[in-house]
Structure 1
Amino acid sequence: MFYHTDAVIEQLAIHRVGNKLQDEFYVLSDHPIALEDELLGQLLMHYFLSPFAKVNEVYRLFHASGTLALNEVFHFSKAFFQGELGFHELSQQLCKHLFEASNHPNIKGGELYVVRLRGVQLEGELHEAVGIFKSEHKETYLKVSPRQGAFDVDYEQEAININKLDKGCLIVNTEQEEGYKVLVVDQTNRQQEALYWKDDFLGLRIRNDAFHQTGNFLKVYKKFVDEGLDEAFDLERTDKIDLLNRSMDYFKDKETFKQEEFEEEVLGNPKAISLFNDYRQQFEEAYESPFGDQFDISNQAVKKVQAAFKSVLKLDKNFHIYVHGKREYIEKGYDEEKGMNFYKLYFKEEH
């Protein structure tokens, strides 16, 4: 988890970065901003860091070639953390790199903020960090103020809403050899061109820890049950719900995932096991995120994914049947006289 209650902004630099495909350029400031107003500092802390409070995913900086030093953000950040590059020079280099990474005509220009932070807490440890933030959207605000028994109304255009950070990342100065710990926010990532922030500018991949192994495995398994079994098996919706419920029960009851144990207790069918292993291998190769035969189970990840494992049969607009277990107690049939499907449920007590 990330906490910023005790964090302090030590330095701040602001630049402007445009879209070169729109003949816009970047504008570099000559020096950092002197933060002498305490309230302004608090507002900036809220603007920059509050969006990260609910971020669970931890990323790494990386390069597709396998040579981490070729990642520009890693190169400049490492030089800064090691005292080989000054803060303002770091911010200018990051602005230039972001400009070069803005390779889609729909990417919006905006202000780039680079911040040196002290006292950020991630996963129970305090660290220094570099924050990189970009504002792309501006709003108009009304200002109402009292004056001699009445009120004045004014407005301010092209203002920034401090509750709506567009893009941001925190590069936490720990585990340098692995690409640091990186948190990222992208509130405008709705179109393909918006991927430039994570991919082209930062160059990120998810850290393959217990949280992500657990979450990704459950997501791959759910997709396999929903889509991957249809060609080989003629399954009813209740069968698929049963497979999903069994997997969720496994991850709730166990502390460690073991592949053979999961296959036996949850899938239980050699053909289904073979199909699933092929399915997960495709994911591992595509995302370079191997699960391994065994990994620790993250309860936090299980809780996050559980909402997507819906165990509900929606019957027209009349009934919802929640299936939590005991697949053998529910039967599906067809009534010839009424020309309709039906479910038969068995139970011992009514509550």
Structure 2
Amino acid sequence: MIHVSEFKDLACLSIHKVGNASQEEALICSQEPLELKDEAISQLLLTYFIQPFTNSAEYFRFYHEADLQLNEIFQYCRRIFENRDNFHEQSVNIAKHLYKHSTHPKIKGGELYIAYFSKCLVDGEDVEAIGIFKSESRDTYLKVFLANDNYQVDYEDGININKLDKGCLIFNTEEENGYKVSVVDSISKQNEAVYWKDAFLQVQRREDSYHQTELAVNMCKKFINDKLPDQYEISRVDQVDLLNKSATYFKEKEQFDLDDFAQEVLGNPEAIQSFKEYKQTFQQEFQQEFPDEFDISSPAVKKQQKVFKSVVKLDRNFHIYIHGDREMIERGFDEATNLYYYKLMFENET
């Protein structure tokens, strides 16, 4: 987890303007880094840059299909880490690289900030870091001021420090694997935004506990919702019960063990064997592999809570939320109405 207080020193900052190349907008590069003389401005910039990363526990790494050394951003960052005197020159290279990939007609131009942090704490390790941030959105601010003993109101155009559009933090650790990288993209769901991660940065998720937990959670959910009904007659209530047991397993355990999970959640020998076989199918389908044993990431579990939906929807009339004992609900069929029903048993009503 990343915290603003863990970034001690914004040592260097260069700002460039990167337009949309396909719209013939300009690329304007500063001649030298910005001099940070005002401590208050430095702190505001630090909050603007780092705050969006505080809820992120997911890390990426630079990669290239042929060879990591061919990834341009990886190389520019490596040169900065090797010699800080290279900072501004490489910041210009980063801006040129972004401009080259800013060709989608919906990509907005904006200011590009390249920052160097001489010391920050990430996962208990003190390291240097490079930040690449882009602001695309502009806001209008009202300015109230006193003039000739009367208050006046004016407006000005500016950047909202609570709305970073795109960002990337590169930590100087694990260089041989493409560094440890954290990424923010506030409009990542839009098609035109894929250029930030895929084309410009060229990053992929690291195979760490966060990634492994996320994959395992999705696999378990798909097996219970999609695979089990194909092989066995299983009611929606039983499916929800298995999803609840899965959620409890990931919340309470510190380590995932495939055999332990299958025995504790599924129990049935045939279902256990089917589950283990499904893991291979899942990995092939999504081209993602994870081991049978790994440490469970609590932030990943928290983010994936919505996967385990404990609700049974009955036509358009009722939703039944099941959180506890499966034995307290029974399913039946009423011949008089030719409809199915559920019987719920409880001790107290609140």
Distance 1:30 1:147, change over 3 A: same
Give the structure 1 partner of residue 78 of structure 2: 78
CA deviation after TM superposition for structure 1 residue 97, in Å: 1.0
SS in 1 for 2:226: helix
Q: Kindly tell me: are residues 192 and 70 of structure 1, through their superposed partners in 2, closer, same or farther at Cα, counting changes over 3 Å? A: same
Cα distance change of structure 1 residues 272 and 25 upon mapping to structure 2, 3 Å threshold: farther
Matches within 5 A, 1:117-132: 117-132=117-132
The residue aligned with 1:187 is 186
Q: Equivalent residue for 1:12?
A: 13
Match of 2:348 among 323, 328, 350: 350
* Structure 1 range deviating more: 337-346 or 111-120: 337-346
Q: Provide the C-alpha distance between the structure 2 equivalents of 1:296 and 1:29, rounded to a whole number of angstroms.
A: 46
In 1: Cα distance, 2:10 partner to 2:318 partner: 55
Task: Check whether the contact 1:76–1:85 (CA below 8 A) recurs between aligned residues.
Answer: no
Distance 1:163 1:254, change over 3 A: closer
Task: After TM superposition, give the deviation of residue 161 of structure 1 in Å.
Answer: 0.8
C-alpha deviation, 1:224, in angstroms: 3.2
User: What pairs with 1:35-184 in structure 2 (closer than 5 Å)?
Assistant: 35-65=36-66, 67-83=67-83, 86-157=86-157, 159-184=158-183
Distance 1:305 1:282 in 2: 21
Relative distance call for 1:253 and 1:36 in structure 2 (3 A) is closer
How far apart are 1:271 and its partner, in Å?
A: 5.6
The alpha-carbon distance between structure 1 residues 224 and 19, as it changes in their structure 2 partners (threshold 3 A), is farther
Compared CA separation, residues 273 and 96, structure 1 to 2 (3 A): farther
1:172 deviates by 0.6
Number of equivalent positions = 348
Deviation at 1:149, TM superposition (A): 3.2
Partner SS state of residue 2, structure 1 = coil
Alignment check: 8 A CA contact 1:17 1:95 kept: yes
What is aligned with 1:30? 31
State the partner residue of 2:340: 341
Aligned partner letter, 1:59: F
Q: C-alpha separation between the residues in 2 aligned to 1:251 and 1:177?
A: 32
Deviation at 1:284, TM superposition (A): 3.1
The two structures have a TM-score, normalised by structure 1, of 0.90
Once residues 228 and 14 of structure 1 are traced to their aligned partners in structure 2, the CA distance between those partners, rounded to angstroms, is 52
Where does structure 2 lack aligned partners over 5 or more consecutive residues? none
Counterpart Cα distance in 1 of 2:156 and 2:279: 53
Q: Gaps (5+ residues) in structure 1?
A: none
CA contact (8 A) 1:208 1:289 kept: no
Q: TM-score, normalised by structure 2?
A: 0.90
Between 15-24 and 196-205, report the one with greater CA deviation: 15-24
How has the CA–CA distance of structure 1 residues 331 and 27 changed in structure 2, closer, same or farther, with 3 Å as cutoff?
same
Alpha-carbon offset, residue 71 of structure 1: 1.0
Checking the alignment, whether the CA contact within 8 Å between 1:218 and 1:305 is kept in structure 2 is yes
The CA deviation at 1:302 is 2.6
- Distance in 2 (CA, whole Å) between partners of 1:283 and 1:75 is 34
Q: 1:4, 1:121 within 8 Å by CA — same for their partners in 2?
A: no
- Distance (whole Å) between structure 1 residues aligned to residue 279 and residue 192 of structure 2: 28
- Matched to 1:124, the amino acid is G
